[in-house]
Amino acid sequence: MPKRKKLTDLYVVGKEITLDDGRGNETTVWLQKLNPVEHETAIRRANGKRAATLQLKRLDSDHPDRQPFASEISELASSRELMLDLLVADKLTKVMEAREAELAAEDEWAEDDYIQSLRDAWEDGLKEKYFSDDRDEESERVLNELKRFNEQLEKRIESERRGFHKEFEEKSDDELFKLAVDKIIDTQADLTWLSEYRRCEIWLGTRDPDDHSVEEFETREEVDGLQKGVFDKLVQEFTSLVVDATEGKDSEEAPNS
């Protein structure tokens, strides 16, 4: 008689994987998507790590903990103009998605899902054809239309670009440098958040292949002791697991009436 499923077993998305070190040593584990409580735990820990990094923005400019980021800016943006470009690009990135969505929603580009169809066609073979000896009129036409869309988008954000430049140009070199360092700290904080979330995902979602209620790792710190190859493989498999679960949900058939 098959073992009765518990309510906590329902809707669990997971898969079994086997890892080996290439020297005949292998082990099998069960990976499963985090439930809401586990997800919240991972989010809280990741938020804590991010907040700790963001605290560096509150320190004095000459504080030793800010110096690695200051050195990075000195290498990336060695002049006032380069610092301006860095800060303006960051501002534009935040408005670009909204302006692109606005343009794509206009009749010319939205009718018959035109802009998305162009992008799909380009990625689905026409890009390769354009850069090969088999370039044809279709690939050129699609590329020209994509360029036309981007040109219209550039015109929309040009005024905002000028506004951001004016905003930053009024600041002193020291002010620009501090803003640029803070920007690098923001980026590092985001990377720290993602890294911690991935580690929590492995910690909470890696289970015994025979008893999925038994966690592979007793503590979050055990994950830090994994070899890079094992860690990278688990991250890859968890990412695939989440993507597969999303695609499966999108492709579910409607129930029969």
How many of the other CB atoms lie within 10 Å of CB of 87? 21
Does residue 257 lie within any of the structural domains? no
Domain-located, residue 181: yes
Q: How many domains does the chain have?
A: 1
* 24-37 per-position pLDDT tens digit: 788 999 999 999 99
Share of the chain above pLDDT 90, in %: 72
pLDDT score, position 252: 44
Find the domain containing 186 and state its range.
Answer: 7-250
pLDDT in tens, 210-240: 999 999 999 999 999 999 999 999 999 999 8
- Whole-number pLDDT of residue 135: 72
What pLDDT is recorded for position 14?
87
Residue 256 located in a structural domain: no
CA–CA separation, 233 vs 219, rounded Å?
20
Residue 226 is assigned to a structural domain of this protein? yes
Whether 143 is in a domain gets the answer yes
* 58 within a domain of the structure (yes/no): yes
Task: Give per-residue pLDDT as tens, 58-93.
Answer: 999 899 999 999 999 999 888 899 999 999 998 898
In a domain, 119, yes or no: yes
Residue 158 is assigned to a structural domain of this protein: yes
Give the CA distances from residue 13 to residues 24, 55, 135, 237, 240, in Å, rounded to whole numbers and listed in that order. 29, 37, 44, 13, 11
CA atoms within 13 A on the CB side of 36: 2
Q: At residue 148, what is the residue type?
A: R
Of 80, 55, 56, 66, nearest to 175 (Cα)? 80
Angle between helices 228-250 and 173-205 (to 10 degrees): 80
